[in-house]
């Protein structure tokens, strides 16, 4: 039970309805008894036809009064039961918007509180038409697609989810379709209104070439990467970028395993420039020193190649 409305007036109305029902039943019993006495007399023509019709009409009228009084009693019982406000679903209730002594009734605009089912909990995500079609193809090939929920703090929710259903149509304004996903939430950690990201494995690419996202520059639809050669000269190469994986970007074409790419200061280097490369440090202890005259400032570089098992994230904070 969430709330209780003062039941005294409703309890009194229930008692009144019981009394009215008792009165109606008593009148009905009297009318039935009179009808039972008049019927034999009417058969012997001892009473007029009108007296018989009046007795029949009175019996039917009092019977209808009993039915009406019984309905009023049920209504009064319902009103009394509704003084105890309960939740029809299991879940978590929000902060109460009504306190002891507040006046409530059918004309109340604001709800008393809100109860939400959080186990399991639904998460809604908008997918582009291309992503939706790719997910449908993956579902046909591999069946159920497990989902991961990435919370606002970057941690991954331990429970795996699945797709529940998709909206009936694509939003013509955004070109996206809303998909509902379901995640078990046994400890009620997830709450309505939270922000999270959903990750699904729709494919597996082995020996993928990964480089930091910050190493890629997009110019007029082309993706360019600064590669440092054996002679420390920079060569700007065009690459074919694919999916993103965290802070890394998958490269399908344009790089070879072991290539050194500039991961910081990409906007400063030019094709043919000589640099003094240094290994990329996520959290450098000291600022890089100025290079000698006629040389560019040392640039941290990152080797391109398949993702190692325990490779630190190539990012600078």
Range of weakest confidence among 96-100, 134-138, 204-208, 294-298 = 294-298
Q: How confident is the model at residue 142 (pLDDT cuts 50, 70, 90)?
A: low
| 249 φψ region: left (φ > 0), alpha (ψ -120 to 50), beta (else) | beta
Segment 166-173 long-range contacts (CB within 8 Å, at least 24 positions apart): 166/132, 170/129, 170/132, 171/126
Q: Residue 130 has what pLDDT? A: 84
Whichever domain contains 42, its CATH number is 1.10.287.470
Mean pLDDT for 208-229 is 86
- Measured in whole angstroms, how far is the alpha carbon of residue 15 from the centre of its chain? 47
Q: Last residue of a domain, which of 146, 176, 200?
A: 200
Q: Residue 102 has what pLDDT? A: 74
Domain total of the chain = 3
Q: Residue 214 has what pLDDT? A: 83
Q: Which range has highest mean pLDDT (20-24, 92-96, 192-196, 312-316)?
A: 20-24
Mean pLDDT value across the chain: 81
Q: Is 117 within 8 Å of 140 (Cβ atoms)?
A: no
Q: Residue 42 belongs to what domain range? A: 3-84
Q: Are residues 299 and 221 in the same domain?
A: yes
Q: Are residues 214 and 171 in the same domain?
A: no
Q: Any residues with CB less than 8 A from the CB of 260 and at least 6 apart, and which?
A: 227, 228, 277, 301, 302, 303, 304
Q: Does residue 34 sit within a domain?
A: yes
pTM beyond 0.75, yes or no: no
**Residues 183, 184, 188, 192, Cα dihedral to 10°:** 20
Q: Any residues with CB less than 8 A from the CB of 202 and at least 6 apart, and which?
A: 134, 135, 138, 145
More confident residue, 119 or 109: 119
Mean pLDDT for 245-254 is 83
Whichever domain contains 191, its CATH number is 2.40.30.170
Q: Residue 282 has what pLDDT? A: 54
Range of weakest confidence among 30-39, 42-51, 91-100, 283-292 = 283-292
Q: Residue 66 has what pLDDT? A: 94
What are the DSSP calls for 269-303, one per residue?
Answer: --TT-B---EE--SS-SSPPPPPPTTSPPP-EEEE
Q: What percent of the chain has pLDDT over 90?
A: 18
Q: Does residue 144 sit within a domain?
A: yes
Backbone angles phi, psi at 238, to 5 degrees: -90, 135
Q: Are residues 216 and 289 in the same domain?
A: yes
Q: Last residue of a domain, which of 200, 225, 257?
A: 200
More confident residue, 200 or 305: 200
């Amino acid at each position: 039970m969430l709330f209780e409305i003062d039941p005294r007036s409703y309890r009194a109305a229930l008692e009144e309805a019981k009394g009215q029902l008792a009165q109606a039943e008593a009148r009905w019993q009297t009318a039935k008894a009179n009808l039972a006495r008049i019927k034999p007399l009417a058969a012997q023509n001892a009473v007029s036809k009108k007296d018989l019709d009046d007795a029949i009409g009175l019996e039917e009228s009092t019977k209808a009064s009993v039915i009406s009084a019984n309905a009023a009693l049920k209504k009064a019982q319902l009103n009394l039961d509704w003084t105890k406000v309960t939740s029809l679903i299991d879940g978590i209730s929000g902060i109460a918007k009504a306190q002891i002594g507040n006046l409530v009734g059918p004309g109340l605009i604001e709800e008393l509180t809100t109860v939400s089912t959080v186990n399991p909990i639904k998460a809604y995500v908008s997918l582009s038409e291309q992503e939706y079609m790719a997910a449908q193809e993956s579902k046909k090939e591999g069946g159920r697609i497990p989902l991961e929920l990435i919370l606002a703090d970057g941690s991954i929710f331990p429970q795996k989810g699945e797709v529940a259903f998709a909206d009936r149509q694509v939003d013509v304004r955004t070109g996206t379709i809303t998909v509902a996903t379901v995640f078990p939430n046994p400890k009620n950690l997830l709450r309505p209104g939270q922000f999270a990201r959903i990750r699904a494995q729709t494919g597996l690419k082995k020996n993928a070439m990964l480089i930091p996202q910050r190493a890629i520059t997009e110019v007029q639809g082309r993706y360019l990467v600064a590669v440092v050669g054996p002679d420390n000269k920079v060569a700007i190469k065009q690459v074919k970028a694919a999916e993103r994986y965290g802070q890394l970007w998958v490269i399908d074409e344009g790089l070879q395993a072991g290539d050194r790419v500039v991961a910081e200061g990409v906007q400063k280097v030019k094709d043919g420039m000589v640099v003094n490369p240094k290994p990329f440090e996520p959290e450098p202890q000291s600022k890089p020193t100025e290079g000698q005259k006629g040389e560019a400032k040392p640039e941290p570089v990152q080797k391109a190649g398949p993702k190692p098992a325990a490779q630190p994230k190539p990012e600078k904070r």
